[in-house]
Structure 1
Amino acid sequence: MSVASPDYSDGCMIALYPPPDLAEQLAVDGGLPAEELHVTVAYLGAAADVDGDALREVVAELAGRRPFTAQLAGLARFTGGAKDVLVALVDSPDLEDLRRDTLDALYERGIQVPREHGYTAHLSLSYLDTDEAAPLDRLEAQPVDFTALSAVHGTDRTDEALAHPMEAPAREAFAVGWALSGGPMTERVRTACETAVSIATEAADDPDILRATIDLGRLEGMWALLFQRREEQQALHMVEVRRQWRELISRDEITAMVDRLRHQLGVTEALDPGRLRAEALAAAKAMLRALADLSGFSALRIALRNAIAAGRAEGMVNAVAIAAERAGRVGLDWNIAFKDAYRSMERLDDLWADAGGWLGRMIDGVAGDLGRTLADGLEGGLDRDALIDAAADLLTGDSEAVAFVVDWAMTTAADEGALALYQSEGVLQLDIISAGDGRVCGACIDAEAGSPWHIGDQPRLPLHPNCRCCLAADVSLAHFANWIM
């Protein structure tokens, strides 16, 4: 049976306390309560011998550092005393630095640290009789975050949040830069802010570090605005393309297609799955390819052509915005720039060819989805009316194939627009920069790491569906003076 822990209520120390949820997880039956689990940084003996205010001053001074993560590195059993102590070992170079700085700060104030033992960082879990079996035989390694440092003086505990003195000014500087860009707050921007603050605290002695942090905030804000504008353009044109697509879909044609398919397969006979799926796909393709003969097909082609033109224009504007940001110029008039760039697309015949190619992909994509819907319905025993309803729901709903093609076409067009502008400006090298969000894959990371690329040798963007990588290069802004406010 575990014995009661010694009473240290009249002692004092500087300590780290784990997060409450982790403390609850570590607490063992018969051991120390979760709220008492801690890592001692320096034990100072009797509280009566140490001035409490001086102790708290030391902790306030030491708290001027970033929070850190240590590692719980297994169990140990300390022996040699009246009671054995079961402990979780704690490993971190940051903890070693904190221990060293703590001893120095205490020494400067004349506070002596008892020297009966060396220092092994640990978190005591339970006091045991010398012949008692431990309640745990293994502890999985896991991280433990320390975000505050505590001064414990008798029964009084004062917590000081860990925060480098440069952290708050750096965070404010980044926010100022982000606000100058006019960009939205995104997950990428939040992550970039934490990185910028970390850099600033590591280079706190650099007199220009806050100015550099403002620049980082402005850059990340500009990227956020760039990607937001892309997505707004895609959403806008998605609505129009889908509207024109739905205008082409006739329930009568769906009914005729289903009837022909059912007749061809013979609905009362056992169907070979392979033949069923092949015939369903063929029927779907035949119906959808016939859309090209309808009068409304030209309106769909125009809608997709306009989407591609908008993508290219946005890519051109993005290229100039990136160049302006690199040159330290703030105040691009995005709307004027986009209108000028879009106007330059009016006489580009290759946009019609692009639209035709993307329409072919759209029809093939929707046909594949429709074929699978028809085959699944037939295999599942849907009757004629239910099968017609399923096909109509797919074709007139928010088709994933239509959305995929519009997104892919506009993203491709944006990258082509940026590349065309860089080529026209005589750029020889360019960078690939990822969006820095959850959609970044290994290919994006490798493309970004390979920068700078000789123009023409860079991987073709987009690298994958929903890719948000973009091209970046330095160009003269002389030709775009009317875009810069």
Structure 2
Amino acid sequence: MPDATLQLRNLKGIWRPVYARRLALHATADAVVIAAWRADLHGLNLAPAVDAWRLVFGEALTPAERHRRQAAAQAVAATLAARNWRRTRAALALAAQRAHRAGWTAGHALVTRDEADDSDLDEPDNPYTIGSPDLSDDRADATAAAVLSSALTASATRAGRAMADSAEDPEGDAEELLAAGLDLELAADVAVSASYGAGMLAAYLGAGAQAVVWMTAGDARVCNLCQGNEDDSPYSLLGAPSLPAHARCRCCLAPA
């Protein structure tokens, strides 16, 4: 079994191009998804949501009250649910497909190249029945739909809190938070990491690998969950914990 911990601050050999590609992949996905989100968000007006919320709770309650925040979040959620997130969903699906292929490319390199080889990775050029480098449109769209739904719920909660806690401009404060797209960045991160990990497993499956190890980033930021996954390695290909363990997870699966 290879040494599990990656030591991201001191990557060597094949892991250097693997993680350089992965970091670039996440950065590109973040930029594309946020641009799509802001395009879909254009023209959003939370004034009706603020009015509906005030009809229920009025102005008398203090912003710190939990039910006030919940009602505000529900009002925002209803407004968001009424919009068409076509661009955002398409951007997330595309990010997932690119990540799957990148994960397959990385996994293929890890099982076919010398560990000390730090040259750039080659993109696959052949379709495979088993261990395909490509993620189907249906699976990519399902990934996008799932992470978008979660992001919309989280965004509504975040914006609702801003609305309920605002002293002067509840509508403006909530809209500003939505435009920042913090939860959409997390959605993009999860979509990319999950598809990247699935692509790696597809490459290992196609190469006939029997087991994988969970590899942490090897620094003080590693959480207990990821450390436990590493400690419990190796796993069968179908029994390994799913990537990511959490948003912004930096872990990886390597052939045992």
Say yes or no: TM over 0.5: yes
Structure-2 change in CA distance of 1:339 and 1:259 (3 Å): farther
Distance 1:450 1:346 in 2: 29
Distance 1:443 1:368 in 2: 26
Shift of 1:283: 0.4
Q: Secondary structure at the match of 2:218?
A: coil
Distance 2:8 2:242 in 1: 26
Shift of 1:246: 1.0
Distance 1:338 1:438 in 2: 35
2:36 maps to 1:244: yes
Question: C-alpha deviations, 1:466-485, integer Å up to 9, x for none?
Answer: 222111117xxxxxxxxxxx
Partner of 1:361: 150
Question: C-alpha deviations, 1:161-213, integer Å up to 9, x for none?
Answer: xxxxxxxxxxxxxxxxxxxxxxxxx8621xxxxxxxxxxxxxxxxxxxxxxxx
Q: Secondary structure at the match of 2:117?
A: coil
**Matched-pair contact (CA < 8 Å) for 2:13–2:118:** no
Distance 1:229 1:412 in 2: 16
**Matched-pair contact (CA < 8 Å) for 1:439–1:467:** no
Shift of 1:363: 0.6
Q: Secondary structure at the match of 1:472?
A: strand
Partner of 2:175: 392
Shift of 1:276: 1.1
Q: Secondary structure at the match of 2:239?
A: coil
2:75 maps to 1:287: no
Q: Secondary structure at the match of 2:45?
A: helix
Distance 1:400 1:414 in 2: 21
Shift of 1:372: 1.2
Partner of 2:123: 337
Structure-2 change in CA distance of 1:229 and 1:252 (3 Å): closer
Partner of 1:54: none
Question: C-alpha deviations, 1:408-450, integer Å up to 9, x for none?
Answer: 1111111111112222333221222222234322333332233
Structure-2 change in CA distance of 1:438 and 1:225 (3 Å): farther
Structure showing greater Rg: 1
Distance 2:20 2:115 in 1: 21
Distance 2:135 2:247 in 1: 28
Question: C-alpha deviations, 1:307-326, integer Å up to 9, x for none?
Answer: 1111111111111222234x
For normalisation by structure 2, the TM-score amounts to: 0.84
Partner of 1:429: 211
**Matched-pair contact (CA < 8 Å) for 1:314–1:338:** no
Question: C-alpha deviations, 1:198-232, integer Å up to 9, x for none?
Answer: xxxxxxxxxxxxxxxxxxxxx72432332222121
Structure-2 change in CA distance of 1:451 and 1:256 (3 Å): same
Distance 1:466 1:460 in 2: 14
1:276 counterpart letter in structure 2: R
Distance 2:115 2:133 in 1: 27
2:146 counterpart letter in structure 1: G
Shift of 1:242: 0.7
Partner of 1:402: 184
Q: How many residue pairs were aligned?
A: 245
Distance 1:264 1:468 in 2: 44
Distance 1:356 1:459 in 2: 22
Shift of 1:346: 6.7
Distance 1:264 1:446 in 2: 47
Shift of 1:393: 1.1
**Matched-pair contact (CA < 8 Å) for 1:316–1:421:** yes
Distance 2:190 2:99 in 1: 10
Distance 1:369 1:340 in 2: 44
Distance 1:229 1:345 in 2: 17
Aligned positions of 1:452-471 closer than 5 A: 452-471=234-253
Higher RCO structure, 1 or 2 (CA under 8 Å, sep 6+): 2
For normalisation by structure 1, the TM-score amounts to: 0.46
Distance 1:416 1:318 in 2: 11
Partner of 1:300: 88
Partner of 2:107: 319
Distance 2:56 2:209 in 1: 59
Partner of 2:3: none
Shift of 1:390: 0.6
Structure 2: which 5+ residue stretches go unaligned?
1-6
Larger relative strand fraction? 1
Partner of 2:163: 374
Question: C-alpha deviations, 1:285-340, integer Å up to 9, x for none?
Answer: 1111112xx3xx22211100011111111111111222234x45736552x41676
Q: Which residue, out of 263, 266, 270, partners 2:58?
A: 266
**Matched-pair contact (CA < 8 Å) for 2:133–2:203:** no
Larger relative helix fraction? 2
Shift of 1:245: 0.8
Aligned positions of 1:69-80 closer than 5 A: none
Structure-2 change in CA distance of 1:227 and 1:452 (3 Å): same
**Matched-pair contact (CA < 8 Å) for 1:431–1:451:** yes
Structure-2 change in CA distance of 1:240 and 1:339 (3 Å): farther
CA RMSD of aligned residues (A): 2.6
Q: Secondary structure at the match of 1:430?
A: strand
Structure-2 change in CA distance of 1:330 and 1:452 (3 Å): same
